[in-house]
Amino acid sequence: MGKGNQTKSSDYREPLVSVVVTTKNEARVLGRLLKSVRAQSYKNIEIIVVDNHSSDSTPKIARKFTSKVYQLGPERSVQRNYGVKRAQGELVLILDADMELSTGVVGEAVELAQGDKTVGAVVIPEESITKSFWERVKAFERSFYNIEGDITTDAARFFAKSVFEKLGGYDEKITGPEDWDLPERAREAGYKIGRIKTKIYHYERIPSLFSLARKKYYYALKSYPYLKKHKISVVSPKTVYFLRPVFYKNWRILLSHPILSTAMFIMLTLENLAGAVGFLIGRLK
């Protein structure tokens, strides 16, 4: 099991967990993720891959690990919802192809969900794996969110299927903020959002600083429906990096890493500018 509770109550069960992975041309990384799913200490798992018509060998690699490989697009919210519809498990874990699981992730998440039935969703902390300079900068930024957990940025990936279905799954009109939207709706519906300690490793894959800006621009194009739904100001910690308290609470870390901190300031400034342009264009449309 995971690093959570080491003892089980006499009525402890091991429910089926459906791991849903969305892909598009992920042949270089998918095998690593699916091997880590198969290597989980918790074994009652099924794998579901929903591929968006990849032109590489992604579907072939997926079929080495599961027979449940489907084709659907155009965006990951649609793919994820379809994957959950095909799921047989009581619990579902939503993953991206560029991830790798510690062996205890599923076990600890199940223990938490089993131990408290009011928990409708679980946050799993992510640790960045980097190679390039800008990947290290992005990892530096993400490290602040994992110090104690950060309600502004935390996005749950593990759900009770019944809760997922009751909430209607991911909002298919949103691409990007849907990771925040679903757990926020769970919280608003009265469910607890739990958090485990065992990590997911996230391979950043950032070829350049401007690739981050393009990604931010793309996600911001459909951010207005999310902000409107939750009555979030366009100038808030959700949208403006520099308003996030976690940076100022940990100012000593910023001062002790001047190069990374300076680069992070440049990176976040560019991302915010790209996001602002994307939001304005999306809003006009």
Domains with residue ranges and CATH for the chain = 17-208 (3.90.550.10)
**pLDDT digit string (tens) for 223-280?**
888 899 889 999 999 899 999 999 999 999 999 999 999 999 999 999 999 999 999 9
- Let me know if 51 is exposed, middle or buried by CB neighbors in 10 A (0-12, 13-18, 19+): buried
Q: What is the pLDDT of residue 44?
A: 97
Q: What is the pLDDT of residue 249?
A: 93
pLDDT tier at 11, thresholds 50, 70, 90: low
- Give the whole-angstrom CA distance, residue 71 versus residue 174: 20
Q: What are phi and psi of 96, to 5 degrees?
A: -105, 155
- Give the whole-angstrom CA distance, residue 197 versus residue 125: 7
Share of the chain above pLDDT 90, in %: 80
- Give the whole-angstrom CA distance, residue 123 versus residue 282: 29
Q: What is the pLDDT of residue 12?
A: 58
Residue 266 is encoded by which pair of tokens?
A: 């440049």
**pLDDT digit string (tens) for 54-76?**
999 999 999 999 999 999 988 89
Report helix angle 258-284 to 209-220, nearest 10. Answer: 30
pLDDT tier at 4, thresholds 50, 70, 90: very low
pLDDT beyond 50 at 110: yes
Share of the chain above pLDDT 70, in %: 96
R_g over Cα of the chain: 19
